[in-house]
Structure 1
């Protein structure tokens, strides 16, 4: 039974919804699935659609008055609703379609609770908007960002709205980056949860305002609650005038990356 009220109740709704989506993603993994063409080389699979339905069912049962924006199904309820959930049922569809397990299920209440589920590890990374933790096998542990891995995940997927001023590929060739960090490209926002959990030192992506993106809202909420440094690629706060995303486990890592980006963004 999901707690029906309060901030902690919203977190449990987010966790239950993300876990429901993850169950679908895991169950359908490796099957030949119908594809829905989105244009420009992008597509959804039947798993995306089924996972989003499972997530919506949980949210509707627990929060029937809330609006939901889903990547596949679009807007449910008023877009100007006081409470709106942002749902990305399968982040990493291209990975999933070729039987790669690097995917995430993202559920976030705008300006509130959020959860990111890893369907294959069984971990659900969570926040109530103030604190952040990971739930695994029924046990909760706090998320503790840590830069020691020196692994920086860089999103190389288009579009690149800030080019030619900023190109992620240029950063990978920067002498200071090569000397201090090791790049990773997993092509899923699961990497944001990994920054919060100390599995990555930082995450970088191009883009515009990502604060209300179904793809990024849950990961941003997690990282903020865990104490990560979260800005755009220009160092400004993430928001309506934002430009991409730089999330670092600590201030020193963020400063190093911004120094490399400076003059290019």
Structure 2
């Protein structure tokens, strides 16, 4: 796979941040951690990684805007381009020495996601996608979503929010309703890795809500470029901005969406 210039910029930023995350991951017990909500941690590792990505992208494209998990919004002068950055998606996994986390970057152009990178430095898995160019693992393997047609044969993934959130009861009803209809349900703790694994055929479908734009954007393009379909719970393509994701191949995405629409 030949990367474009802009994708090279994104990959280099993610890999550089990944080196910092790997170093911190090996010393995770020594990290100084503060809590910013129930089971929602922010560590020096997040902040270091985000600063690295920000510096690298700003140097390469100084006119682009930013939307970052830790740093918030930074205006640009371009008017058409914006970076969406989650420097460490799966922070709780990271802080418990579970190697399922990623540095995730997406590029928005004229309100459309056109390039994305999801990088897990511990597993050495680099997922890249560009509009019209497909989705790839480590520049060598082109990704395709799994071809299973029946939910009964499917392993689906979801995110289970922490106790005390408004959607607790709804999520429990969703789990109770969908569990008998599928082959299995998984919960990894990193939506970026979930979407990358969906694109690579490891998971068959995903549903989740309560997400932020930087959670959704990198994986959204990855799944679409791997031949998958993504919508919100209403079946509309608003996932990045309303935080709802239902994704899979054409058959399973439609079947899972039908299941979810019946749960109130």
TM-score by length of 2: 0.85
Contact 1:152 1:203 in 2 (8 A): yes
* Alignment partner of 1:104 out of 102, 108, 114: 102
What does 1:71-110 correspond to in 2, within 5 Å?
71-78=69-76, 81-110=79-108
Match of 1:52 in 2: 50
Q: Higher helix share goes to which structure?
A: 2
Cα RMSD over matched residues? Answer: 2.5
Contact 2:174 2:263 in 1 (8 A): no
Contact 2:46 2:87 in 1 (8 A): yes
Unaligned regions of 5+ residues in structure 2, if any?
none
Contact 2:158 2:186 in 1 (8 A): yes
> Cα offset for 1:53?
1.3
Aligned equivalents of 1:25, 1:86: Cα separation in 2: 19
Contact 2:63 2:76 in 1 (8 A): no
Aligned equivalents of 2:155, 2:85: Cα separation in 1: 27
Aligned length: 251
Match of 1:156 in 2: 160
What does 1:1-265 correspond to in 2, within 5 Å?
8-31=4-27, 32-78=30-76, 81-110=79-108, 111-136=113-138, 139-148=139-148, 150-158=154-162, 167-174=170-177, 177-189=179-191, 190-207=193-210, 213-238=213-238, 242=242, 244-248=244-248, 250-264=249-263
> Cα offset for 1:144?
0.9
Contact 2:107 2:116 in 1 (8 A): yes
Cα distance 1:64–1:241, how it changes in 2: closer, same or farther (>3 A)? closer
Aligned equivalents of 1:14, 1:195: Cα separation in 2: 21
Contact 2:119 2:126 in 1 (8 A): yes
Contact 1:146 1:198 in 2 (8 A): yes
Structure 1 moving runs of 4+ over 6 Å = none
Cα distance 1:191–1:169, how it changes in 2: closer, same or farther (>3 A)? same
TM-score by length of 1: 0.85
Contact 2:161 2:168 in 1 (8 A): no
Cα distance 1:133–1:241, how it changes in 2: closer, same or farther (>3 A)? closer
Contact 1:68 1:86 in 2 (8 A): yes
